[in-house]
Amino acid sequence: MGPRFLTSAFAAGPALTILFFIRKHSSIRFQAILCGGSP
């Protein structure tokens, strides 16, 4: 468990949270905002 592991875990944490949020609230408008497009 070196600094590399901590860095990857710290970077993956928010990403996994965002992915879980998208999966839980899979609204078309939210996905459009993420894709950079406007409804």
pLDDT digits (tens, 9 = 90+) for 2-16: 778 778 878 888 888
- Residue 38 — φ and ψ, nearest 5°? -110, 140
State the pLDDT at residue 1: 59
The mean pLDDT value of the chain amounts to 74
- pTM of the model as a whole: 0.38
Structural domain boundaries, residue 17: 3-35
pLDDT at 39: 47
**CA quadruple 6, 11, 15, 20: dihedral, nearest 10:** 10
Q: How far apart are CA 36 and CA 39, in angstroms?
A: 10
In total, how many domains does the chain have?
1
